[in-house]
Amino acid sequence: MLVLDPVLKTRTTAGFAAWPVAEVGDDEILVLSGRMTPLEVGTAMAVIFRYNDIPAAPVADLPEPLDRHLAEIGPLVAPGGLRLRDTAAGTEITPACCCGLESWREWGGLLRGEPVWLGHDPGTEMVHTPLRIRLTQQAADARRPTRRNKIEIPRDDLPDLLASAHLSLREFLRLVRRWADRTVPHAADRLVAVLDDCFEITGPLDLG
């Protein structure tokens, strides 16, 4: 079974203390969905704030640094993107270095035969055939440098995979709203609006 998950890389949360966050797993990957705990949502917010150098404390002042960041620097970005898994084979293609969640919609280009950049170190090769898209990525395992993960996506399955990832992001944003109402109620509206805009969450998918 193929699964396409929106994910964040959580390496930047070490020592974060502005609000409670969850323990980070060894793979430093956080899946964004409607099944996240409040602590996991807090971790996602910590990643986004740290990665964009936005002061997170004191939390009462959050609207000001958000507005200043957008005015002076630009839209938010975050390490991560879409992770493709083949649960039967136990293989996965993960967003690599410099790939960002803000570009997740570029996966729709695969339907038009376009290449999608998933980061480097490791890089990902893509081969298009009339019926399938084959992705190959060197496994991130220093002990097995020649191992390569390969997953083939039936072209007809890709729209449903993207729709599932889109739903997960919308459910994540719903949890962000609930988390923000409790944690930073003075900034909840602004935070949800900024995330929705910068990561293109609620708009319709272009699968043409």
Give per-residue pLDDT as tens, 142-175: 455 546 799 999 999 999 999 999 999 999 999 9
Question: What is the arithmetic mean of pLDDT over 46-60?
Answer: 92
Residue 150 in 3-state DSSP? strand
Q: Cα(98)–Cα(117) distance, rounded to whole angstroms? A: 10
Q: Inform me whether the pLDDT recorded for 66 exceeds 90.
A: no
* CA 48 – CA 180 distance, rounded (Å): 14
Provide the whole-model pTM.
0.93
| Token output for 45 | 């917010």
Question: How far, in Å, CA of 36 to CA of 31, rounded?
Answer: 8
Statement: residue 9 has pLDDT above 60: yes
In tens, the pLDDT along 75-99 reads 999 999 999 999 999 999 999 999 9
Give yes or no for residue 118 having a pLDDT over 80: yes
Residue 53 CB contacts under 8 Å (≥ 6 apart), including other chains: 69
The per-residue pLDDT for 70 is: 84
| Predicted confidence band of residue 57 (pLDDT cuts 50, 70, 90) | confident
80: buried, middle or exposed (CB in 10 Å: 19+, 13-18, 0-12)? buried
